[in-house]
Structure 1
């Protein structure tokens, strides 16, 4: 039995490594294709892009760990079933339950690893991602403000300066045109301006001194003099419309989510009811997704038994479809929890509870060499349809 468990565990690890690598690679390629124009226009190096995606890896892993675990277990037992290894083992007196230690240990390790990501890794990755993104945007902003060149990298804003000292952050004969408000155009002109960076909020203030404001609203034009006028820029807008100032529940460590749930006064100032609902939903999401590794892994074993003889490519499609059902229920529960339609505790646990029940029933039927009634009903209906078509 030790040899058997080692063989099963080794195959699970190989398939898991392949699955995680493929899914992460697909996500990376997809994101790079979405942002290819942005990266080319901002002249960001390939290593910087990889660094940014590395810090997003915990976020991606939290989502793909359950499906990777499920695929590994499903394909392993489907292959054993297709090659009649399971039949030979049963003929030798080895029941399904005696084969469980290897997949249970594997799924438990995946669950613990996902819990580590959920509790610490996700918040660390998002913090480092924001810091790295800010540094990229901050460094880029120095080069983008070139003397005598119109800068239109911020949507609705056009900057110009006749002289630029990026080291000191000084501008001479500067102006900005603001068209962010519909139906109105504001032009600010000043002989002197300065760039003030705010690393704590990833923002930059461009402060104009002793200039004029030309405000056009339809056919009306107003001219105002000022001593100091500031235009605040969110550097996240340079690299994909990220907001650094907004506090999001999904970026918080689990300990902070617990603190806010226990004491709502610890929430950020002005937090709305929707924010607290998002905190509750994110809290249960961090608990239920890691457990999904164990639950979906155990769920995959009887499913592989039921569909024994199925080719692996079809098995892959089938398992992806079953996970899609799980993830669709999970996504709907997140949306309903954040909107307040249902308490998050019920919605977030519902997919796991349903799949646990199916896994336990399926395990019992698979060990007894019986087929689930729902599969028999589906087969019966399919035969009827084929008969009518024939």
Structure 2
């Protein structure tokens, strides 16, 4: 039995590593394109983007570990069922229940790993991601304009130049509109300007020559002429899509979420929607790790029921079943954040439904019986083969 458990556990680990690697690779490609488009006009290299992706890995692992656990268990027992290994073991007196220690140990390890990520790893990764993102923007960025195009990379500020020489930093017929101050609009117009991006001081300096400043505040309009006028901007503000000062629930460690749930004074002055998000995120961080154990146990009777199914079809079937689970989970998150139902109900529901099906399915699989609907599906499949 020890040899059997070791072999099953080893195969589970191999499939888990392969599944996680493939899913992370697919996400990497998509995220690198997204991050690259963010830094399109900036001097951010491939390895810098790879480093940013590394810090996002805990966030992705929290989502893909449950499905990787389910796929590993499902494909392992589907192969054993297809190769008649389960039949041979049962003929020698080894019931399905006696094979459970290996998948149980594997699913428990996956649960503990995911719980570690949800408790600490996710918050650490998001903090490091924001820090590095801001650092790269400040130290590697270059500000570039396109002639005849309005540039709004800086929040609240619009740049325009009719002619641009980015190599020399020379602008002709330059225009800048600053609406960063509420209730006040400042427009600077000049026939020529000089732009300098300085990574060492993390700032952009734009020097206008022989132009006008139009300042409107309410009904008052002031016009000033100047010979030389310079403005300075922080390169870090190029990341207009990221608010580094906002304290989001999804970026917090589990301990802080628990503290805010217990006492709202831990995050004073926030609205009810924020506290609902904190409550929902708290249960999300707990139920997703438990989902590894639930989905792993759920996969065993499903694999036994669909014996003889090819690996590619088995993969599609397991992905479809996980999609049902994740859809229920997503609906629970949305309803919890909106306040339609308590988050505990919506987020625990998928686990309760799947563990209930797993326990009933395990009983059928151990007796080598199948529910009626599975017989119907198998009969439908055989009829299609016969008609083909």
For this structure pair, what is the TM-score category when the shorter chain's length is used for normalisation? 0.7 to 0.9
Report 1:153-192 matches (<5 A): 154=153, 157-158=158-159, 176-178=176-178, 186-188=186-188
With over 3 angstroms needed to count, the CA separation of the structure-2 counterparts of 1:230 and 1:247, relative to structure 1, is farther
- The answer (yes or no) to whether the contact 1:237–1:243 under 8 Å persists in 2 is no
Aligned residues: 359
Deviation at 1:52, TM superposition (A): 0.3
Give the SS at the match of 1:177.
strand
Deviations 1:330-368 (A, max 9, x none): 111111110111110100000000001000000011001
Q: How far apart are the structure 1 equivalents of 2:273 and 2:94? A: 53
With over 3 angstroms needed to count, the CA separation of the structure-2 counterparts of 1:230 and 1:271, relative to structure 1, is farther
- The answer (yes or no) to whether the contact 2:55–2:128 under 8 Å persists in 1 is yes
Q: Which residue of 2 aligns with 1:280?
A: 279
Q: Which residue of 1 aligns with 2:123?
A: 123
Q: How far apart are the structure 2 equivalents of 1:232 and 1:259? A: 38
Deviation at 1:31, TM superposition (A): 1.5
Q: How far apart are the structure 1 equivalents of 2:283 and 2:152? A: 39
Give the SS at the match of 1:310.
coil
Deviation at 1:253, TM superposition (A): 0.4
Q: How far apart are the structure 1 equivalents of 2:150 and 2:139? A: 15
Q: How far apart are the structure 2 equivalents of 1:85 and 1:236? A: 61
Give the SS at the match of 2:97.
helix
Q: How far apart are the structure 1 equivalents of 2:108 and 2:159? A: 55
Q: Which residue of 2 aligns with 1:332?
A: 331
TM-score by length of 1: 0.80
With over 3 angstroms needed to count, the CA separation of the structure-2 counterparts of 1:206 and 1:375, relative to structure 1, is farther
Q: How far apart are the structure 2 equivalents of 1:69 and 1:206? A: 53
- Alpha-carbon RMSD across the aligned residues, in angstroms, is 4.0
TM-score by length of 2: 0.81
Q: Which residue of 2 aligns with 1:289?
A: 288
Q: Does 1:304 align with 2:303?
A: yes
Deviation at 1:8, TM superposition (A): 0.3
With over 3 angstroms needed to count, the CA separation of the structure-2 counterparts of 1:343 and 1:325, relative to structure 1, is same
Q: Which residue of 2 aligns with 1:235?
A: 236
Q: How far apart are the structure 2 equivalents of 1:134 and 1:301? A: 46
Give the SS at the match of 1:109.
helix
- The answer (yes or no) to whether the contact 1:157–1:180 under 8 Å persists in 2 is no
With over 3 angstroms needed to count, the CA separation of the structure-2 counterparts of 1:214 and 1:249, relative to structure 1, is same
Q: Which residue of 2 aligns with 1:356?
A: 355
Q: Which residue of 2 aligns with 1:6?
A: 6
- The answer (yes or no) to whether the contact 1:122–1:251 under 8 Å persists in 2 is yes
Deviations 1:101-154 (A, max 9, x none): 00000000000000000000000000000000010111145x4389xxx99361
Deviations 1:65-119 (A, max 9, x none): 0000000000000000010000000001100000000000000000000000000
Q: Which runs of 5+ in 2 are unaligned?
A: 162-173, 225-229
Q: Does 1:43 align with 2:38?
A: no
Report 1:19-30 matches (<5 A): 19-30=19-30
Q: How far apart are the structure 1 equivalents of 2:203 and 2:349? A: 45
- The answer (yes or no) to whether the contact 1:74–1:304 under 8 Å persists in 2 is yes
Deviation at 1:205, TM superposition (A): 11
With over 3 angstroms needed to count, the CA separation of the structure-2 counterparts of 1:312 and 1:383, relative to structure 1, is closer
With over 3 angstroms needed to count, the CA separation of the structure-2 counterparts of 1:44 and 1:299, relative to structure 1, is same
- The answer (yes or no) to whether the contact 1:16–1:68 under 8 Å persists in 2 is yes
